[in-house]
Amino acid sequence: MKGTERIFRTTVDVGHPLRPIGVGDKNVFLGSCFAENVGRHFVDARLHALVNPMGVLYNPVIISDLIYHHLPINGGQFVQNNGMWHTWLGDTSLSRLTREECERVTRDAVATLQKAVVEADNLFLTLGTSRSYILEDENNTVANCHRMPPEMFWTMDVGPDDMEEFLGESLDDLHERNPHLQVIFTISPFRYAKYSMHGSQLDKARLLLGVEELMRERKDWTCYFPAYEIVMDELRDYRFYADDMLHPSPQAVDYIWQRLQDDWMTDELRQYLSRWAPLGQALAHRPLHPESPEYTTFCQQTRQQLAQLQADYPMLNIEN
């Protein structure tokens, strides 16, 4: 083997989108906490992005319900527990002290989401699990169980045919209203140890097969970014997991963000991000002596650079 380079890891081919992500694109991120982590990179870079307005979403059925523009909001979608009102349509970020306030923020979040997906250029859907929790009394899939007693729910594993029925119908409806939309599927790398490791793999397999089924008849406007495969095959090391050994670590998320930049974004967007990076670091800086002349000069220079970047990219809201 002398003189021959030895390769000790697999590099995942991430492919290409149908249309590269542009600097002025409107992006919506829905799904698991992984969608939230990647979406925050867009938000932090002052790109147009709406990230999980209903909170973290796990299964394809609730995502299907929320993007469907005829979704009714009624009294059965709210519950009180431990002094707080919760909505079955979202996580605890929408919980409030009164039912009226909980219902108001839920309606606002649903309206924001449904308006955004009609205007979006790219919709990132990150599916975390095929397992749905369904209220016994209402027969409705919930986004979050809100620590309510397990006997209130029954579970269903959503298979590929079910995903085509539930999510496919909602996506087709959305595509009719927004023909320009590019839907980008990803599968969350989070491992559901509570299902057992074998059960977690079966769960991911159902999602992978379901996405293939969804994309088969929608090749002109759907594509797949292999975040799950990057973590499983390219970063197959526990140092790329958080302390719970189940969630991808910040380092893994940053790596996937870089792969997204390298192969799925326009040259203009990559150039913008390279200019934004030092400014983002400057804005995050917390000085030991904010009253010092050096910090005053630093702030003035940062403001000038932000103003110049805003002038070069007027389609973004950078200075705010």
Domains, the chain, ordered by start: 26-267 (3.40.50.1110)
Q: 1 pLDDT exceeds 50?
A: no
Mean pLDDT over 58-78 rounds to 89
pLDDT mean across residues, the chain: 91
Q: What are phi and psi of 46, to 5 degrees?
A: 65, 20
pLDDT recorded at residue 149: 93
Mean pLDDT over 95-110 rounds to 96
- Which of 16-30, 217-231, 282-296 comes out lowest in average pLDDT? 282-296
Q: 184 pLDDT exceeds 70?
A: yes
Mean pLDDT over 201-221 rounds to 94
- Which of 5-14, 38-47, 129-138, 219-228 comes out lowest in average pLDDT? 5-14
SS3 126: strand
Cβ-count burial 163-172 (b if 16+ within 10 Å, e if not): bbebbbebbe
CA distances in angstroms from 279 to 12, 45, 203, 265, listed in the order given: 31, 9, 41, 20
| Higher pLDDT among residues 86 and 3, named by residue | 86
Mean pLDDT over 66-89 rounds to 90
pTM over 0.75: yes
